[in-house]
A and B are shown apart, each in its own frame.
Chain A
């Protein structure tokens, strides 16, 4: 400890003490040389520490996207998990844990939400998010768009209670079911939070949220058939329970099958429902 203190002291005075004398005891040129030498020692130590921090940061930069890149239906690469392990707390706290897969693997459909509710007059109303006319400026619109896109990313098919009863005896499948239920609970928590927000905004007692997919039109539909990009045919209301064999854990029976329901109007809202402006509930 004393040695470390002495070393620190030596650093702050050009390391002269380590030579057994003080700067004032050394002749002019000698003192300059001793100081330069001390600075070099100090600089070198600093550089080693900075180099270590740089290597750590480079690992942190790559760990997140590398693990994201290796994701498949079987999980992630053990190598990517290993690379991520030492930097995980840091990248999660410092907001460095991203995949950077913009428009990847390929451009896909957009996802929106339709919120339907009984308003204060008892009339059935509906509102769709995001709406680029209602949310302005564009950054505000994009924030809403990300909310609905991410709700879709979180969506997991509901677990059939019958499955829970019949499969509980098998430990492996029970674990799969447990993970499935947790993912579903998270989705429902987010969806219910959004519903509560809309209910508060429009002073409704209860709000139902439907996910809507806006599929991408082909060049033939746009250029030859001259269909508009927001034509009603391109909007599909997604049911909560969907035949999705790819998303069903192995060994489990796929629940009842449903077909995707096309929206009834241009806005995706049934004709007997009044469409309201998304932000009409806002205070002026």
Chain B
């Protein structure tokens, strides 16, 4: 091998290594750059409240959904999951005591999650207790359950309780615990850490996947193309909570809203990242989900989708908000 060939090979290897280093650095910055917990704390408060509300509703009709004579009895619930990996201890217990205990604890942990007390423990526990409910009541679930579970899962390993929480107040009162101590783990400091970044990124990317597949699935339906989808959404009596049929007098308005919805949903995953388009995409999210909440009677689902979209708001915004509020 001549010196020229050797030099060329070394240069090529160096270029490849440089390219790989560049990608590694991008990966590091995207996933591991430390981040404050303010945004996650706001999501935690809202998600905890929603979880508690969901369990209160389950509790109000525990016999209808979990009892021996439930809509879907234990045997039927198991048959729905025959051959898959879902599992719930409700398949083996339907006594009122067991159900009340489970749902009571779920409400308690959800409320603690909301106020931020013992968040390191109560968030994973709230997630697990809700998971058991989801596998038992599969046929009664909808998008709300999917999004609440997604948010709770990612909050489980972040330090969302380090700010805007009773944990933070306790930590400040007790004084700074030594690093790597159990107390430090239980009442984490509010400094920016990479686990907050990872949780935030996973919420953001999960949301992108939800919108992308939602948009792609709509592309199979002709109503979203001919502009009539919005009409057939607002005249669905079982969903309707606000009479919007007057909009049908303007086919152009109906078609525009249909087109905007499918465009926004499909391209959300691309347009939410640039700073130039992010505010527009998030404003559209509030508009669409606010419309679902008010017009289609799914207040809970619309609200939790708006909460999930908060993941794209940077922590400094909430610090400024806190300063202004206080």
User: What is A's interface to B at a CB cutoff of 8 Å?
Assistant: 47, 50-51, 54, 57-58, 61-62, 65-66, 68-69, 88-90, 92-107, 110, 112, 130, 132, 137-147, 150-151, 186, 189-190, 193-194, 196-197, 200-201, 214, 216-217, 219, 222-223, 229-230, 234
Contact = CB atoms under 8 A, between A and B. Distances in A.
16 contacts: A61-B202, A94-B153, A100-B213, A100-B217, A103-B218, A105-B220, A106-B218, A132-B238, A138-B300, A140-B57, A143-B57, A143-B65, A147-B140, A190-B80, A193-B70, A197-B69
Nearest to A145: B238
Contact of B229 (A51, A58, A107, A144): A107
Nearest to A104: B217
B258 to A, nearest CB: 10
The binding surface of chain A is classed by DSSP as helix
Contacts of A103: 218, 229, 233
A201 B61 CA distance: 12
B291 to A, nearest CB: 12
B248 interface: yes
B86 A99 contact: no
A214 B32 CA distance: 51
Given A94-B131, A139-B300, A142-B142, A193 B57 contact: no
Contacts of A194: 71-72
Given A196-B69, A217-B235, A190 B76 contact: yes
A214 B198 CA distance: 45
B175 interface: no
A106 B222 contact: yes
Given A101-B214, A137-B57, A219-B248, A47 B28 contact: yes
Nearest to B299: A138
A221 B112 CA distance: 51
B61 to A, nearest CB: 7
3 closest A-B pairs by CB: A106-B221, A105-B221, A104-B217
B237 A150 contact: no
B217 A107 contact: no
A61 B86 contact: no
Nearest to A219: B248
Nearest to A193: B76
Contacts of B54: 139
Given A101-B217, A107-B236, A147-B140, A223 B222 contact: no
Contacts of A54: 31, 198, 202
Given A88-B85, A104-B218, A106-B232, A150 B57 contact: no
Nearest to A107: B232
B210 interface: yes
A146 B209 contact: no
B193 to A, nearest CB: 12
Nearest to A111: B238
A150 B239 CA distance: 15
B53 interface: yes
Contacts, number: 181
B86 A92 contact: yes
A104 B149 contact: no
B181 interface: no
A185 B4 CA distance: 75
Contacts of B135: 95
Nearest to A144: B140
B210 A100 contact: yes
Contacts of B140: 143-144, 146-147, 150
Interface string B241-256: 1000100110100000
Contacts of B20: none
B209 A61 contact: yes
B244 to A, nearest CB: 11
Given A102-B143, A143-B137, A147-B71, 20 more contacts: A50-B32, A58-B205, A69-B216, A90-B85, A92-B86, A97-B84, A100-B210, A105-B220, A105-B221, A106-B218, A106-B222, A140-B57, A143-B65, A143-B140, A146-B142, A193-B72, A197-B71, A217-B235, A229-B237, A234-B237
Contacts of B19: none
Nearest to B213: A65
A135 to B, nearest CB: 9
Contacts of A100: 143, 146, 209-210, 213-214, 217
Contacts of A90: 85
Contacts of A97: 84
A201 B237 CA distance: 26
B248 A223 contact: yes
Contacts of A61: 202, 205-206, 209
Interface string B82-93: 001111000000
A47 to B, nearest CB: 6
B134 interface: yes
Contacts of B70: 193, 197
